[in-house]
Amino acid sequence: MITLLKNGKLYDPAHNKNGVVEDIYIRDGYIIAKVNAADKINQTIDLTGKIVMAGAIDMHSHIGGGKVNIARMMLPEFREALKQYSEPEAHICTPNCSHHATPTSTETGFRYIEMGYTAAFEPAILPINARQAHLEMADTPMIDKGGYTMLGNDDYFLRLLSDKTDQKAINDYVAWTLHATQAIGIKVVNPGGISAFKFNQRRLNLDENNVYYQVTPRDILKSLSRAVNELGIAKPLHVHCNNLGAAGNFQTTLDTIQASDGVPMHLTHIQFHSYGLEGDKKFSSAAAQIAEAININKHITADVGQILFGQTVTASGDSMMQHLNARHASPKKSVIMDIECDAGCGVVPFKYRDQNYVNALQWAIGLELFLSVTDPWRIFLTTDHPNGAPFTSYPHLIRLLMDKSFRNEAFAKLNLDAQAMTNLPSLTREYSLYEIAIMTRAGAAKLIGLKNCGHLGAGAQADITVYSEQANKEAMFGQPDYVFKNGELVVKDGKVVKVVWGATHVTKPVFDMSVEKNLKQYFDKYHTIQLDNFKISNDEIADNGRGKLVSHSKT
Amino acid sequence: MKVASHKINCITATCPACGLLCDDIALENNNNKIKVLTKGCEKAVSFFEQPVGDTTPLINGKPATLQQAIAHAAKLIKTSQQPLFAGLSTDVQGFRAIYNLAQKTNASMQHMNAQSMTRNLKVLQSSGWQTTTLTEVKNRADLIVCIGTDVVSHNPRFFERFVWAETALFTEPHRRQIIYIGDKYLKTKHGQQPHGYSAEHIQCTNEDLPEILAVLNALVLNKPIKAKQVCGVAIDQLQELADDLKDAQYAVLAWLAADLDFAHAELAIGQITQMVSTLNLNSRAAGLPLGGSDGDTSANNANTWLSGLTLNDEVIEHDLMVWVNSFGSEKSPKISEKPLIVIGNNSAPLPRSRVPSPAYGRGLLMNDKGQGQTTSAPQSQDSPQTPVISPSPVSGRGVGERSDAAQIPEVFIPIATPGLDCSGTLFRIDSSVVLPLMRVRENALPTLSEVVNRIEALL
- Collapsing DSSP states into helix, strand and coil, what is residue A372? helix
CATH number, domain containing residue B189: 3.40.228.10
Q: Within this chain, do residues B332 and B453 fall inside the same structural domain, yes or no?
A: yes
Q: Do B434 and A105 touch (CB under 8 A)?
A: no
Number of A/B CB contacts below 8 angstroms equals: 153
DSSP 8-state code for residue A461: B
CA–CA separation, B163 vs B134, rounded Å?
9
For residue B149, the Cα-to-chain-centroid distance in whole angstroms is: 14
Q: In this complex, is the C-beta atom of B293 within 8 Å of any C-beta atom belonging to chain A? A: no
Using CA atoms of A515, A521, A523, A526 in order, give the dihedral in degrees to the nearest 10. -140
3-state helix, strand, coil in chain A (%, to 5): 40, 20, 40
Interface test with B, best of A68, A70, A73, A211 (most B CBs within 10 A): A73
CA distances from B104 to A118, A137, A141, A176, B77 (A): 27, 22, 17, 42, 11
Q: Within this chain, do residues B366 and B226 fall inside the same structural domain, yes or no?
A: no
Q: Do A340 and B433 touch (CB under 8 A)?
A: yes
Which of A332, A390, A374 is CA-nearest to residue A382? Answer: A390
User: pLDDT tens, B66-112?
Assistant: 999 999 999 999 999 999 999 999 999 999 999 999 999 999 999 99
Q: Do B431 and A333 touch (CB under 8 A)?
A: no
Q: Within this chain, do residues B263 and B311 fall inside the same structural domain, yes or no?
A: no
Shortest Cα distance, chain B CAs vs residue A471, angstroms? 35
Long-range contacts of B418-421 (CB under 8 A, 24+ apart): B418/B16, B418/B90, B418/B91, B418/B93, B418/B94, B418/B295, B418/B326, B418/B327, B418/B447, B419/B13, B419/B14, B419/B15, B419/B16, B419/B47, B419/B91, B419/B327, B420/B34, B420/B47, B420/B48, B420/B50, B421/B52, B421/B445
Task: Report the residue from B23, B286, B310 with minimal CB separation from A73.
Answer: B310
Q: Do A335 and B129 touch (CB under 8 A)?
A: yes
Strand partners, B170: none
B359 assigned to some structural domain: yes
CA–CA separation, A200 vs A179, rounded Å?
32
Which of A104, A70, A97 is CA-nearest to residue A82? Answer: A97
CA distances from A191 to A207, A224, A485 (A): 11, 10, 37
B444 assigned to some structural domain: yes
Q: Within this chain, do residues B261 and B319 fall inside the same structural domain, yes or no?
A: no
Which of A311, A547, A74 is CA-nearest to residue B93? Answer: A547
B327 assigned to some structural domain: yes
In B308-446, which residue ranges form alpha helices assigned H by DSSP?
A: none
Q: Within this chain, do residues B122 and B88 fall inside the same structural domain, yes or no?
A: no
Q: Do A135 and B302 touch (CB under 8 A)?
A: yes
With 0-12 CB in 10 A as exposed, 13-18 as middle and 19+ as buried, what is B232? exposed
B351 assigned to some structural domain: yes
CA–CA separation, B108 vs A25, rounded Å?
47
CA–CA separation, B273 vs B269, rounded Å?
6
Which of A395, A361, A315 is CA-nearest to residue A101? Answer: A315
CATH class of A54-448: alpha beta
Chain A hits for B436, Cβ within 8 Å: 131, 533, 537, 540
Pairing of strands B128-131, A334-339: parallel
Segments forming the whole domain that contains residue B171: 117-290
Domain edge (last residue) among B246, B265, B290: B290
Q: Within this chain, do residues B441 and B314 fall inside the same structural domain, yes or no?
A: yes
Q: In this complex, is the C-beta atom of B211 within 8 Å of any C-beta atom belonging to chain A? A: no
**Model pTM greater than 0.80?**
yes
Shortest Cα distance, chain B CAs vs residue A324, angstroms? 10
Res. B315: pLDDT tops 70:
yes
Q: Within this chain, do residues B285 and B193 fall inside the same structural domain, yes or no?
A: yes
- Supply the ipTM of this predicted assembly: 0.96
Shortest Cα distance, chain B CAs vs residue A331, angstroms? 9
Number of domains in chain B: 2
* CB within 8 Å of chain A, chain B residues 154-193: 161-162, 166-170
Shortest Cα distance, chain A CAs vs residue B249, angstroms? 8
Q: Within this chain, do residues B286 and B369 fall inside the same structural domain, yes or no?
A: no
In A, minimum Cα distance to B124 occurs at A74
Q: Within this chain, do residues B128 and B201 fall inside the same structural domain, yes or no?
A: yes
User: pLDDT tens, B366-409?
Assistant: 333 333 333 333 344 444 444 433 333 333 222 233 444 568 99
Q: Do B134 and A340 touch (CB under 8 A)?
A: yes
% of chain B residues with pLDDT over 90: 79
B19 assigned to some structural domain: no
Q: Do A79 and B308 touch (CB under 8 A)?
A: yes
Q: How far apart are the first and last CA of chain B?
A: 41
Residues whose CB is less than 8 angstroms from the CB of residue A275 and which lie 6 or more positions away in sequence, other chains included? A245, A246, A247, A248, A249, A250, A283, A284, A285, A286, A365
Domain edge (last residue) among B239, B267, B290: B290
B35 assigned to some structural domain: no
CATH number, domain containing residue B373: 3.40.50
Q: Within this chain, do residues B436 and B347 fall inside the same structural domain, yes or no?
A: yes
Q: In this complex, is the C-beta atom of A405 within 8 Å of any C-beta atom belonging to chain B? A: no
In this prediction, residue A311 carries a pLDDT of 87
B30 assigned to some structural domain: no
Shortest Cα distance, chain A CAs vs residue B232, angstroms? 33
Shortest Cα distance, chain B CAs vs residue A547, angstroms? 14
Q: Any idea which of A382-386, B244-248, B280-284, B391-395 has the lowest mean pLDDT?
A: B391-395
Residues whose CB is less than 8 angstroms from the CB of residue A315 and which lie 6 or more positions away in sequence, other chains included? A62, A67, A68, A70, A71, A345, A346, A347, A386, A387
Q: Within this chain, do residues B145 and B221 fall inside the same structural domain, yes or no?
A: yes
Interface test with B, best of A63, A132, A320 (most B CBs within 10 A): A132
- Cβ contact A393:A93 at 8 Å: no
Which of A394, A395, A373, A396 is CA-nearest to residue A385? Answer: A394
CA–CA separation, B150 vs B155, rounded Å?
9
CA distances from A165 to A170, A223, B128 (A): 7, 11, 40
Q: Return the domain boundaries, chain A.
A: 54-448
CA–CA separation, A251 vs A290, rounded Å?
9
Q: Within this chain, do residues B351 and B284 fall inside the same structural domain, yes or no?
A: no
In A, minimum Cα distance to B436 occurs at A533
Domain edge (last residue) among B290, B317, B345: B290
The one-digit pLDDT tens for each residue of chain A (555 residues) are: 899 999 999 999 999 999 999 999 999 999 999 888 888 999 999 999 999 999 999 999 999 999 999 999 999 887 765 444 444 444 444 444 455 788 999 999 999 999 999 999 999 999 999 999 999 999 999 999 999 999 999 999 999 999 999 999 999 999 999 999 999 999 999 999 999 999 999 999 999 999 999 999 999 999 999 999 999 999 999 999 999 999 999 999 999 999 999 999 999 999 999 999 999 999 999 999 999 999 999 999 999 999 999 889 999 999 999 999 999 999 999 999 999 999 999 999 999 999 999 999 999 999 999 999 999 999 999 999 999 999 999 999 999 999 999 999 999 999 999 999 999 999 999 999 999 999 999 999 999 999 999 999 999 999 999 999 999 999 999 999 999 999 999 999 988 999 999 999 999 999 999 999 999 999 999 999 999 999 999 999 998 889 999 999 865
